[in-house]
């Protein structure tokens, strides 16, 4: 499992960012979806998104430390962990419980769809998460390696972090 840079990884990473941000105002968040379907009740007091500059002071060093830690973590730590779990283990395990007997790039509709749904609903932006998962898994199936999906995921998360800070869109975190 090694990072691998390619034009395809960059395009998928930037494309997923566009999907993630573009769907934000068009699709209800997961909690809103469950409430619309009558599967949950609205919270008594909706939580405010966490803004490190509200917490520690506008432009404070501690605020910037937490922003930096969040961007670095979501760029360098989250992609290898999530890609190894969802794209390598879960996808192949759904295809066959003896997951190591399934090659990494093997395509099958059932694990593709189920992994996308599970990944999507692990995120508040559920539809963007489903499409994101499909893009990353498609990259793995096409390129037959995990490294390009890790790179694409890292690009998405890094750019999203920059977008969040630049546009004060803290609800994404």
> For the chain, which residues make up each domain, given as ranges?
7-43+72-172
CA dihedral for 169, 61, 65, 13, sign (positive or negative): positive
pLDDT per residue as tens digits for the range 42-76: 888 877 888 999 989 999 999 999 999 999 999 99
Which of 115, 117, 100, 107 is closest to 139 using CA atoms? 107
pTM score above 0.85: yes
Q: What is the DSSP string of 50-109?
A: P-HHHHH-TT-HHHHHHHHHHHHHHHHTHHHHHIIIIIIIIHHHHH-SSGGGS-TT---H
**23: pLDDT confidence band, cut at 50, 70 and 90?**
very high
pLDDT score recorded for residue 38 = 84
At 75-127, the pLDDT tens digits run: 999 999 999 999 999 999 999 999 999 999 999 999 999 999 999 999 999 99
């Amino acid at each position: 499992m090694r990072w691998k840079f390619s034009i395809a990884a960059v395009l998928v990473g930037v494309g997923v960012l566009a999907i993630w941000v573009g769907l934000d105002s068009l699709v209800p968040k997961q909690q809103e979806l469950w409430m619309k379907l009558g599967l949950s009740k609205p919270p008594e007091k909706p939580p405010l998104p966490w803004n490190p500059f509200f917490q520690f002071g506008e432009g404070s060093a501690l605020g910037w430390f937490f922003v930096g830690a969040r961007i670095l973590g979501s760029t360098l730590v989250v992609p290898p962990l999530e890609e190894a779990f969802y794209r390598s283990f879960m996808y192949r395990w759904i295809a066959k419980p003896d997951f190591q007997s399934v090659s990494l790039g093997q395509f099958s509709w059932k694990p593709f769809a189920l992994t996308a749904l599970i990944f999507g609903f692990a995120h508040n932006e559920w539809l963007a998460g489903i499409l994101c998962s499909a893009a990353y898994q498609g990259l793995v199936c096409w390129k037959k390696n995990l490294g390009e999906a890790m790179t694409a995921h890292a690009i998405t998360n890094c750019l999203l972090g920059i977008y969040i800070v630049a546009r004060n869109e803290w609800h994404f975190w």
